[in-house]
Amino acid sequence: MNDGVYTAEITMTGGTGKAHILSPAEITVTGGEMTAKFEWSSPKYDMMIVGGESFYPVNESGNSVFEIPVYTLDEPLSVQAETIAMSEPHLIDYEIVFGEVTASGASGAAAPAPGQGFSPVPLLIAAGAAAVCAGIAAIVIVKKRKK
């Protein structure tokens, strides 16, 4: 993806279902590297572990927010998140799946979803239909002039 800020719809599995990451998540691409900003529905998460590396909230109040490096949007992201909502901190396994990606900003133009790209087929169909219509119109005009 080109450098810029995007949003990605996400779904997640794991945990008890009481807390979740808000969707869509913000994806920032800089120099070809992606970072996802995940905001939990709770302020009770104090650490996330991704690929064996620990990450801590980037905010001090409100729901817990983490900025996590992401290497692909085509595969689920396995994470562990530590919650302090119980009597003792607990690490909980989650899997985050990325869905539709949309470019942020004024245009709001949609970026291709993971694993998808531009397809010329709809344009070719439209061009073929336009050519057929033009041909029919030409035949009708010629027949009317002969009368």
pLDDT tens column, 21-43:
999 999 999 998 999 999 999 99
Return the domain boundaries, the chain.
Answer: 4-116, 118-147
Contacts of residue 125, Cβ cutoff 8 Å, sequence gap at least 6: none
Contact 53, 60 (CB under 8 A): no
- Residue 119: pLDDT over 70: no
Q: Is 56 helix (H, G, I), strand (E, B) or coil?
A: coil
Query: If you average pLDDT over residues 80-94, what whole number do you get?
Result: 93
Q: Is 73 exposed, middle or buried (0-12, 13-18, 19+ CB in 10 A)?
A: buried
Contact 64, 105 (CB under 8 A): no
Judge: domain 4-116, CATH 2.60.40.1850. yes
User: Which pLDDT band holds residue 125 (cuts at 50, 70, 90)?
Assistant: low
Residue 45 structure tokens: 């998460």
* Full-model pTM: 0.69
pLDDT of residue 108: 43
